[in-house]
Structure 1
């Protein structure tokens, strides 16, 4: 009897860890992915400054600079990846891929080259919207990044180092990763191999739905070291709609400075566990102060959404529109 139970448990475990096969999915989605080629005119001084700054950047180094020795200014060539979200030619990519571009072209997988227009770009979220002329493009289905689970297999397609339509797979390592200088995006962390040129490319779930835009890596060498970050498609589509409609992104302002709750703070506030966002400061005459929020308050829920970390609250606020209202559950 004990042997039978053990055998069943082992068989079940083996079934769970079966490696995902993305071969059919790659063939299905590749036509909707394109290489982005950017040309920018820069002075020699700007070029030297940008090359120095590139060594310190934690964004992808997607710039392959080819100075024209015979003339000043120099020509900068950049490359990245984009993908279709509508059949009439709207595409998503990263802001840092097309930043400062004089000319943008996209190359499809059948080697068709199309001129692209920059509809709008948002530095804070690192999302940009492109438009090419035509119709009946193979738009990709949009998934639900909120439904992602840590450990779930994911697939990326892009042009690392110019090697077009390279596929790489991995798992979701963590969700809602935020950075001190960029709190507007709750990044999806994966161990998918991403390198310069993958920027702006799609991150897929096993159903072939886009659940993220590949945006950055952490690396001491400029190449992949196991830490890759993607913009959740839910947040990216919010930015897309604003850029497509208005050409710019407008964000709401509340006037709070939240921090995470650790174990000691949880005990001090008689919380069952570390959760919520502690308000360390509320700006004078801000919407938060007028609503009655005070320093020391802990926000536990935002419109019935449970807040576990300060980043959860900031991510919700960054997707709010001016004049939006919300109900908060707080502990004072």
Structure 2
């Protein structure tokens, strides 16, 4: 067992297993090997006469070389080097007795992991493999995986593995058990840093500097179902996956079998470097179906450095609600490509609002680096430290401009508060609105409908077979702007739509408020 990352550059390159060579290829290889031995091949003989390839001294060496080429290459060498760095993590959590066990889940209501499992796990928010486990009955134990990142005992695992733990123990590959303490956690990326006590020469893994390619081999090592020390192999299936876990989703998707208990374990490349931390699976049945998600190594490296330094993570913040630029939105704004991040609404007194960024602006670059979509903007800004000065390229009312601002610090909780006027339960459905031709909805001035606020027009009825319904409009939605112009009645809406048609627009962009959240919706325009 080594206490330093092992240089695996001397190991043989790992290749996919191959079937036995065809006879023709085998014969060609035999001929090339014989030639390499210095035998002058001419047909089936040499200058001194015919050579019997199947009884000559060269025959044994030929077959030896062929067997080396044809034999499938496994992962045993790399596993031998990396497996000692992987640990099993066991936690004890003292829980209060739940009032209703049927609704109890291992994740806080509304948390990123609870939302993820409601989407990919089950309707009750529980991972399928955890359903039926006793919850809320005194001490609850849980198990996961992790791996050392330094010889002095620092190790990485998932936040959801150690979240709320009163006691943490780890078991190393050689069967020894140690106590550990949580140094810091980051719920937004589901990462945690722990410190294992009682040793100073632990074997550790190295985080990869590069980005894996789709199709690269990957090895997952962890503690599935508490078995410990389990290795599975697969490939990188995809990258940049958004699974609804949070604004910084950028998961690597792998098909190496990962099950309950693998959470927090490493995914290795064939150089023995960690390319990601396994954190979630897609599993209708509760077992592996070949779709697992890993947090990329660069994210791990950045988060772990901050956790080690101060026990928490600070992220840059500009204070905007953003959304993707779809093809329809791009057409409405006159953009050539559906790229960038559309500002639905700047938050009051936030850095963006103070710098003059407005609703409808499209952020296209940060410090000269192109922003492809809203998620990339969130990741880029979140990866910068508060207090940094940044330069944003912004498309403002059809004109490009540069905005300079200083990043604030992302609040621990960012809540979208609904307008108090909307909390009385009256969505205005009792008010008869005015029809908006060819969109399939009726609207009324917001100030004439109780609970709709004072700005814009409220949607009072939506034809379920209309373009408006297809775009997600519902009764009670408040339309604030149409084609960049504020609207206060149905006439304003019709006028803006007619102007868009006159400009040969295929769709018209509307800014819509639902509760306290604003967003832009591109509604296709019927011709004529």
Specify the TM-score bucket, using the shorter chain as the normaliser: 0.7 to 0.9
Structure 1 position 252, deviation (Å): 2.5
- CA deviations 1:5-60 (Å, max 9, x no partner) are xxxxxxxxxxxxxx984332111100000000111222332793535878533768
Residues 128, 285 of structure 2: 8 Å contact kept: no
Task: Please name the residue that 1:6 is paired with.
Answer: none
User: 1:296 and 2:360 equivalent?
Assistant: yes
2:480 is matched with none
Q: Which runs of 5+ in 1 are unaligned?
A: 1-18
Question: Which of 179-188 and 275-284 deviates more?
Answer: 179-188
Counterpart contact for 1:276–1:301, Cα < 8 Å: yes
Deviation string for 1:136-162 (max 9, x for gaps)? 2112111135x2222322221111111
State the partner residue of 1:27: 80
| Equivalent position of 1:3 in the other structure | none
Partner of residue 302, structure 2: 238
- Report the Cα distance in structure 1 between the residues aligned to 2:182 and 2:97, rounded to whole angstroms: 25
Q: Cα gap change, 1:103/1:65 in structure 2, threshold over 3 Å: closer, same or farther?
A: farther
Evaluate the alpha carbon distance shift between residue 140 and residue 131 of structure 1 in structure 2; reply closer, same or farther with a 3 A threshold. same
What CA distance in whole angstroms lies between the structure 1 residues aligned with 2:318 and 2:128?
Answer: 32
| Structure with greater contact order relative to length (CA < 8 Å, sep ≥ 6) | 1
Kindly indicate whether the alpha-carbon contact (under 8 Å) linking 1:92 and 1:200 is maintained by their aligned counterparts in 2.
yes
| The one of 186, 196, 200 aligned to 1:135 | 200
TM-score (norm 1): 0.84
Conserved 8 A contact 1:160-1:166: yes
Q: Find out whether 1:86 has 2:150 as its counterpart.
A: yes
Taking the aligned partners of 2:166 and 2:82, their CA distance within structure 1 comes to 29
TM-score when normalising by structure 2: 0.54
1:317 aligns with 2:370: no
Corresponding residue pairs, total: 310
- Provide the rounded CA distance (Å) in 2 between the counterparts of 1:185 and 1:210: 18
Bigger radius of gyration among the two: 2
State which of 328, 334, 339 in structure 2 corresponds to 1:275. Answer: 339
Corresponding residue of 1:108: 172
Deviations 1:185-231 (A, max 9, x none): 42222222211000000111221111111111122222222321111
- Root mean square deviation, CA, Å: 2.7
Q: How does 1:1-332 map to 2 (within 5 A)?
A: 21-45=74-98, 48=101, 49-50=103-104, 56-57=124-125, 74-133=138-197, 134-144=199-209, 147-180=211-244, 182-332=246-396
* SS of corresponding position for 1:45: coil
SS in 2 for 1:129: strand
Q: In the TM superposition, what is the alpha-carbon distance from 1:112 to its structure 2 partner?
A: 0.8
Shift of 1:175: 2.1
Give structure 2 stretches of 5+ with no counterpart: 1-71, 108-116, 397-528
